[in-house]
Amino acid sequence: MTGPPTPVRPPDGPSLFERVDRWPTALVGAAALIVAVAAAPHRAGDAAGQVWPPFVLVTGLLLVGLVADGDGLFARAGRALADLAPGGRSLFVGGCLTVAVVTAVLNLDTAVVFLTPVFVHAGRRTGTPDGPLVVACILVANAASLLLPGSNLTNLLVLGHLHLTGGQFLARMALPWTVVVVVTVAVVAGAGRLPSGKPVPDGPAGPPVVVGLGAAAAVAATVAVLVLRDPAIPVLVIGAAAAGVRVVTGRARPDDVGRTLGVPVLVALFGIAVALGTLGRSWSEPSSLLAHLDAPGTAVVAALTSVLVNNLPAASLLAARTPPHPFALLLGLDVGPNLFVTGSLAWVLWWRTTRSAGVRPPTTRAVVLGLVSAPVAVTAGLVALSVTGLRGH
């Protein structure tokens, strides 16, 4: 039997993305935080109070994802997806649905970290290890992060002003989420090399999936996100406890936890987000600008600001005060990052995990498709908001 194609060897030396995920990056965020505290301590405290829950929540979700991956849940789901799909097109659609659901439930960063290698593996079975499914993983993850508060850190930053439960947020964003995801998938599929043959099995199926600690932690975290108004601490406790059990029993190493969390990047983004949140509270211009914009204008400003400074600091700056069009703002903050690699932390994680899987990341293709899909998806999402009667409010 012919084995799977030899993976493309990533170029030698660290990439720009990999250089970002190092401790000097954290020093930049720490310096920004120190400057903010020194310049306006009270406003910096308010900004930190708004920013810390999302970072705590994503930390807990990433830990839950680490444990679930250790149980083989994601890998076995990918294998089952490839085995059940009658052809390459079905595999693509099923893969996009998987990343959309995992993003919505467990957070887009968790989806990118643990599903990208699964999709590389599935792509090898169809001869496209760097194909449209890998590209869809990052673009669909960003687009699908609209559905629940915990799906994206930016949602929590904006939701701090709205006081909605996860269920209430879900009810309001279900239609825009569906439209945005469908548009993004359609653009990637229309431009992708979708294989037509059935994947060739690349090895034994392995033991059946057992409902263990990873599944239990995922279910508990999901319930907490959906039911609790402030789920950050409970989810962190769930993730830390599950990961702690794995480390103590020798099924995971502390280094695994550190790599999963990407601590330098999280520290840097936290410091920059607090600094920009302090600026937004001290400088009225961002709030004044949003007050004079309609919902489409708000979405455009949010998308462009995300590309300039990353969507987490952008959310901290633009949502420092109550925004007049919060849901339109979220469309720009969540879907806008598909315009370029600087838009979200998920891009860095996608690059890193694709290279770790032995494949050269198809970054240029992903950026081109993102430039096409993001404006169309944001526009469609705004129409969906109007249909549901929200009109950005």
With respect to residue 67, please indicate whether it lies within any of the assigned structural domains. Answer: yes
Residue 370: predicted pLDDT: 96
Handedness of CA 291, 296, 299, 305 (dihedral sign): negative
321 within 8 A of 354, measured Cβ to Cβ: no
Residue 17: predicted pLDDT: 54
Tell me how far apart the alpha carbons of residues 329 and 388 are, in angstroms, rounded to a whole number: 16
Q: Hey, how many other C-beta atoms are within 10 angstroms of the C-beta on 344?
A: 32
Residue 279: predicted pLDDT: 87
Q: 143: closest CA among 314, 305, 381?
A: 381
With respect to residue 382, please indicate whether it lies within any of the assigned structural domains. Answer: yes
115 within 8 A of 150, measured Cβ to Cβ: no
With respect to residue 69, please indicate whether it lies within any of the assigned structural domains. Answer: yes
**Which portions of the chain are predicted below pLDDT 70?**
1-21, 78, 82, 85-87, 126, 192-211, 389-393
Burial (CB < 10 A; 0-12, 13-18, 19+), residue 335, is buried
Burial (CB < 10 A; 0-12, 13-18, 19+), residue 3, is exposed
Quote the tokens at residue 116: 């990208």
Three-state DSSP at 246 gives helix
Quote the tokens at residue 62: 């990433």
Tell me how far apart the alpha carbons of residues 33 and 376 are, in angstroms, rounded to a whole number: 36
As a whole number of Å, the CA-based R_g of the chain is: 20
Tell me how far apart the alpha carbons of residues 240 and 245 are, in angstroms, rounded to a whole number: 9
192 within 8 A of 92, measured Cβ to Cβ: yes
> CA of 282: how far to CAs of 17, 279, 325, 391, in Å?
32, 5, 21, 29
Per-residue exposure over 30-39, b if at least 16 CB sit within 10 Å of its own CB, e if not: bebbeebbee
Phi–psi pair at 378, nearest 5 degrees: -65, -45
Tell me how far apart the alpha carbons of residues 159 and 149 are, in angstroms, rounded to a whole number: 8
Tell me how far apart the alpha carbons of residues 391 and 298 are, in angstroms, rounded to a whole number: 12
Query: Domain range spanning residue 161?
Result: 16-201+209-387
Residue 96: predicted pLDDT: 92
With respect to residue 392, please indicate whether it lies within any of the assigned structural domains. Answer: no
Residue 377: predicted pLDDT: 97
With respect to residue 53, please indicate whether it lies within any of the assigned structural domains. Answer: yes
Q: State how many domains the chain has.
A: 1
With respect to residue 229, please indicate whether it lies within any of the assigned structural domains. Answer: yes
Q: Taking the model in full, what pTM does it have?
A: 0.79
